Amino acid sequence: MSVQGPLSSPPSRPVMAEARPQFYIKLSKPTVTRVLIVVILAVFVVEVALGFMAYRSLAALTSPSIEVLVLMGAKVNEYIAQGEVWRLFTAIFLHGGVVHVMFNLYALYALGPLLEGYTGHVRFLAIFLISGLYGSLFSYALSGPVSVGASGAIFGLLGGISIYFLKYHNNFGMQGRAILQNMAIVLVLNLIIGFSSGFIDNWGHIGGLVGGALITFGIMPRYRQPVAVRPGPQPLEVVDRRVLEAIWTVLCLLLLAVGVYVTTVVRFGGFAG
């Protein structure tokens, strides 16, 4: 009978791979995007109803009359110069026809969840509204015809997405670069289409783009690693910059107000009445 001698070294154990922390950005649901879509649709239904009641024409079901649009708050330069500055806001939610509103709703549906997901509800709403207001301002300053539509705000979303992924493109790798390329292509194509048509408010689009990029630059989230790091997936913490973001938003609105005042004085000789 043989006897087994002592082992010269302890038996080897399988080496377990060390779990490392995997950081990610927690996305927000597109709640504000959905609310905006509903609001824009509801406003368009009111436009159509008023037009049909006023003119009893089936054409009003697809293309609200200019009188209805002006009544509901279209951008009319002369009226704004007379003190109806609120038209810079209301014009964002009005549309000149079914094709117009459906195109903008599709763009909002496509772009909104992406930007709202990364910036959150409040920031996204601020970007949308300030972009729309800057679009109205540029149109007021540089374009004469009556104007309506959320296109300026939509261009602002393009600007906001571009600024965000320019800041964080290294964190997203190929996905971030692809998003930036797509935004550039969409922007260039829309500008080409706009400048090749005489019925599109290109200055409103450019103003929205500028406003969206400007406000996003100051209020987009900044991230840091969690204080307690643990193995596995873990969301990054958003740095609390609410005071700075509020100040930046106020500065953007003050710049907007200055633009309205200067435009009114230089182009229209001051507020009438």
Please list the active-site residues: 151, 205
User: Are 125 and 92 contacting, i.e. CB atoms less than 8 angstroms apart?
Assistant: no
Record the tokens describing residue 239, joined without a space. 């740095």
Task: Say how far apart CA 79 and CA 9 lie, in whole Å.
Answer: 92
Rg (CA), the chain: 26
**DSSP type of residue 28:** P
How many Cα atoms are found within 13 Å in the side-chain-facing hemisphere of 24? 10
- 140 with 132: CB under 8 angstroms? no
Distance CA 62, CA 236 (A): 47
User: How many whole angstroms separate alpha carbon 115 and alpha carbon 13?
Assistant: 49
Q: Does residue 216 contact residue 163 with C-beta atoms inside 8 Å? A: yes
Whole-angstrom distance, CA of residue 133 vs CA of residue 260: 10
Those residues whose C-beta lies under 8 Å from the C-beta of residue 213, and which sit 6 or more positions away, are 156, 159, 160, 162, 163
φ, ψ (nearest 5 deg) of residue 237? -90, 140
